[in-house]
Every structure is written in C-alpha cells, then in structure tokens.
Amino acid sequence: MTHKIRFTFLAAVALSALLVVSCSNSQPAAAPVQTPATAATDSKRNADLTAPTTPAASDTPNVPGGSRSGETAATNNIDKPDPAAPQPAAKTYRMNPKTYDIVPIDAAAHTKQVVLLTFDDGPKDLELNRSLLDTLDKHKAKAIFFLNGYRIKQHPDIVKLLDERGQTIGNHSWDHIDLKKESKEKVDRQIGDVQQAVKAITGKAPAFFRPPFGSGSEEVRAKAKEEGLLYMTWSNGSKDWEMTVKNNSPEQVVANVLEQLRPGSNILMHELPWTAEALDTLLTRLEERGYAFVDPQSIDTAMH
C-alpha cells in the first residue's frame, strides 16, 4: 500500500511539471523595452528600405570628364564637351614681318600656296556684308574684317553678324586717321577704344591690327604690341579703293589681284559694292590656280 501511494505522488509531481513546461512554451515572449535611440535607428532603417534606390549626387564620386550616377541629362551635358562646338584652329601659319606675306610655320607640313583675304573700313552696310559672307561661305573661306571704331558704334549688329558667321574681326583704328601724325595719347585711344568696343559686342578683343593708309610709327607699333595685336599692312592690293560709284570695274578688281599674286599674298580689299560683286569670280580664279584661303585663326600672332 505504501508503494502505491508513493508511485501516485511521484506521478502527480511529474504531471504538474509537464503542465508547467507546456504552458510556458505556448505563451508569447515579452517584447523588449525600446529606448529612444533604438527607436530612431529602427525608424531610419525603415525609411531607407522604402526610399528610392538612386543615390544622391552628393553621395556619388565626381569622375573627371564624365558623369556621376543619378545625375540628370542636363547636368551630364555640363561635364561633357559639345562635339558640335567649333574648335580653335591650330597655329600653322605666321606672318613675314618684312613682306607681310603669310607663310607656313612648317613648310613640309603645310602648303605655301595660300592667300589671306582682308576687308577694310567697315562695317557700313548690312546687305553688303551679307553678300560678302555668303560668297566666303560658298568657297569655305575665312577673312579678316578690319573695322573702324565709329562704324562699330553705328552698326554693332553687323559686328555681331561677322563674328557669328565665323569671320575674324581686326582693329583698323577708331576714326581712320593717319596715326603716324598723331600724339601717343591719341594713338592709344584710337587703338585701345576699338579693342574695348569689339570685346563688348563679341566677348573677345581683336588679335590683328592694320593702320589706316598703311601708315604707322614706332608708337603705333608699340601700342599694337601692348594690346596683343599683330601689326600688318598688306602685300597685294586690289586697288578697289581707287574706284568710285560712277567709275568702277569688278573685273579690274580681279585682274589687279591676279597680277600681283604670289604664295602668301596678303590681299587688301574693302567693303565696297564692286568688290562684293567681284569676290565670287576672284575666289574661283584663285582656286583654279591652286590657292587655298588661310584661316586667320591659324596664324600665330606671336611669331613675327
């Protein structure tokens, strides 16, 4: 009997222990206490998981010459060069300071059979300039337009047009006076004021200077050098300035140039109706003789 009671007691104890273990496993575990710092960390993590995956520009490396991940197309274009933008011409020619002819820096690499086209005393007339520009474009030719300051002031629209059409603007003094006869102070103003006027319109000052009438002095040359200008006159005159409205000949303009033609000819012409009329024929004849047209931007203004 005693053994039976002991067995019953032990069985009851074991059953109670089993019930306790079973109850404790079926109840949910208590949630951990969340401190403010832990809550903020979890909130940030949740926000990061739901945010867009594109990284911010400030979080990505800046690659020289390239774009950064996540940038817009507009931003990318700032870092990339525009392939359509005109590139500066290589400096392949220079001016002979004694003859004012244009010669190749490396005669083995570039032809001597070239001419430089120049037009003085503008800008005067919009339509006349458009005619000159259209003819130059037809022959893929560039020229220097030596302008006077008082005319620049009258026709800034033409100055802008010449620049936009890819032609080169030169300094021809403000008033088209004989600078050789003027004081240093006046020479400085005559040249310096044109530099400022052209830069105000085009964003860049001229690099070429031609004194009116080809008349200069040491003071004129010194001022040109101070302004970073290449001083030149010409080596081939069209003599179009000797003609008048009543007495002119486009054919004679062409003949005058061809009679003096030689490799490197620095051709002087003017913004005149008969010159504009002669230009297409003149450029055609030059091409037929094997001449090319020097881009003024390819002339090294520091070599003379």
Residues with a known catalytic role: 120, 270
- State the number of CA atoms in the 13 A half-sphere of 63 facing the CB: 11
Note whether 159 and 147 are within 8 A (CB): yes
Contact residues for 111 (Cβ-Cβ < 8 A; gap 6+): 104, 292
Contact residues for 220 (Cβ-Cβ < 8 A; gap 6+): 179, 180, 187, 191, 211, 231
- State the number of CA atoms in the 13 A half-sphere of 10 facing the CB: 6
Q: How many residues does the chain have?
A: 304
Contact residues for 82 (Cβ-Cβ < 8 A; gap 6+): none
> Which tokens in the block code for residue 3?
């053994």
Note whether 72 and 56 are within 8 A (CB): no
